[in-house]
Amino acid sequence: MQKVGFIGLGRMGQPMASNLVRKGFDLTVFDVNADAVGRLVALGARKAADVAHVVAGADIVVTMLPNSAIVEKVVAGPEGVLAHAARGAIVMDMSTVNPETTDLLARLAAEKGIGFVDAPVGRLASHADRGESLFMVGGSDPDFARVTPLLNAMGTTIYHCGGAGAGTRTKIVNNYLAVTSCQLNAEALALAQRFGLDLDCTLDVLYGTTATNGQLKIAWPAKVLSGDIAPGFTIDLAHKDLTLILEAAQAAKVPMPVAAAAREAYSTARARGFGGNDFSAMADALCDTIGVEKPRLGPTSRHKP
């Protein structure tokens, strides 16, 4: 069994690391949150005092961190992962970051004889809890083969998208559609609410045409339309991802006016205090703005999950 170091035990990282421990992996963990580390230690992981300690002797080092700047510092900083990892080890970054960050880390790792895999996560925190995450993976075939047992322990669906950087770029394309779909759905349902339409009948029509989408048909009935706006993926994070998307598109010289408009809508929702809610609550934010009742499925709705 390969020795694994895991850095970053936030809302996504903690269940992912927990699933590795439960599946029998030799795991050492590190996070600035001592309570998060303690929960993993209680499951059987070893506690690391710092990055150097978590990397020492590790065959694979996993990072699951909040943003590009933190990932770059933790992996490539003077006391970072690459400064301490042994030649032949693999760094697998599972954060959602700027593609330029991924490219930089892959290049620096290669210069030190260290493998690099980018494997950002699809689906929600609730899926991570159940070990049902989806992974978009970039890396060489040999490196992909080495990390596949870890991915199988943390999720159910794995796509090898290409070489290093392909996973991050696929995540950006995926998140663009997922996040903007929420804004489109919010506008559509706010309009229906203003018109005074029956929600069940409206959904019947939308589900029966090409207007439907996964957010509206699969995610929303269990979330905002049922009154559950507890965050699986917050409006704040969706706004962050739209910023990444626009930065990556600008670097690639691809105009994305819809993404720009959607980010402004998310900015408005954050300014009105909705940032910590699930991103399906964009519907609530818009309905609140225009002063109409929030869309909710009744207790006998045929669309209740």
- Total domains in the chain come to 2
Mean pLDDT of 130-136: 96
CB proximity list for 103: less than 8 A, separation 6 or greater = 164, 165
Comparing C-alpha atoms, which of 160, 161, 180 is closest to residue 249?
A: 180
Domain boundary among 110, 139, 164: 164
pLDDT of residue 232: 87
71-119 residue pLDDT tens: 999 999 999 999 999 999 999 999 999 999 999 999 999 999 999 999 9
Give the pTM. Answer: 0.92
Give the residue numbers spanning the domain of 109: 3-164
171 is catalytic: yes
Q: Does the residue 200 lie in any domain? A: yes
Q: Does the residue 68 lie in any domain? A: yes
65 and 183 co-located in one domain: no
189-213 residue pLDDT tens: 999 999 999 999 999 999 999 999 9
Domain boundary among 146, 164, 182: 164
Q: Mean pLDDT over all residues of the chain?
A: 96
Q: Does the residue 300 lie in any domain? A: no
For residue 133, the cross-strand partners are: 155
Confidence of residue 155 (pLDDT cuts 50, 70, 90): very high
Q: Does the residue 302 lie in any domain? A: no
246 and 218 co-located in one domain: yes
Mean pLDDT of 219-243: 96
Name the active-site residue from 23, 171, 217, 223: 171
66 and 31 co-located in one domain: yes
Residue 4 above 80 pLDDT? yes
Token pair recorded at residue 269: 């929702």
Backbone phi and psi for residue 160, each to the nearest 5 degrees, phi listed first: -85, 105
235 and 267 co-located in one domain: yes
